[in-house]
């Protein structure tokens, strides 16, 4: 899924949750860098999983920050949702 498609899907989810038109556009731009990151470094399923996770958060009434979205992206792009690590000290 391309980043702009992911943003559009999330906008549809946000539109069902919020009445304000401007609110849905916020999601499109707030997560643009994260969608691009997943597109360049992940697989199609990772993008689908990320949109689903963000959508779940929106439906629950929480609007994730872009930092939250990056954490979600890292969790869907690693086996078993483990955080990325270089093997060094924690």
CB 88 within 8 A of CB 81: no
37-75, pLDDT tens digit by residue? Answer: 999 998 889 999 999 999 899 888 888 899 999 999 999
Residue 25 falls within a domain, yes or no? yes
Q: How far is CA 25 from the centre of its chain?
A: 14
Residue 83 falls within a domain, yes or no? no
| CA–CA gap between residue 10 and residue 82 (Å, rounded) | 24
30: closest CA among 65, 74, 72? 65
- What pLDDT shows up at residue 79? 67
Residue 88 falls within a domain, yes or no? no
Using the structure block, give the residue that is written with the tokens 């399923």.
45
Residue 43 falls within a domain, yes or no? yes
CB 65 within 8 A of CB 20: no
**What total of structural domains would you count in the chain?**
1
Which residue range is the domain that position 11 belongs to? Answer: 3-78
In which band, very low, low, confident or very high, does the pLDDT at 25 lie, cut at 50, 70 and 90? low
**Averaged pLDDT for residues 2-21:** 68
Residue 86 falls within a domain, yes or no? no
For the chain, how many residues are written? 90
């Amino acid at each position: 899924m391309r980043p702009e498609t992911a943003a559009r899907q999330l906008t549809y989810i946000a539109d069902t949750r919020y009445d304000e038109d401007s609110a849905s556009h916020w999601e499109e731009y707030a997560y643009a860098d994260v969608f691009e990151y997943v597109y360049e470094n992940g697989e199609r399923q990772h993008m689908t999983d990320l949109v689903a996770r963000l959508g779940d958060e929106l439906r629950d009434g929480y609007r994730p920050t872009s930092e939250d979205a990056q954490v979600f992206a890292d969790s869907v792009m690693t086996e078993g949702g483990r955080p990325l690590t270089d093997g060094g000290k924690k």
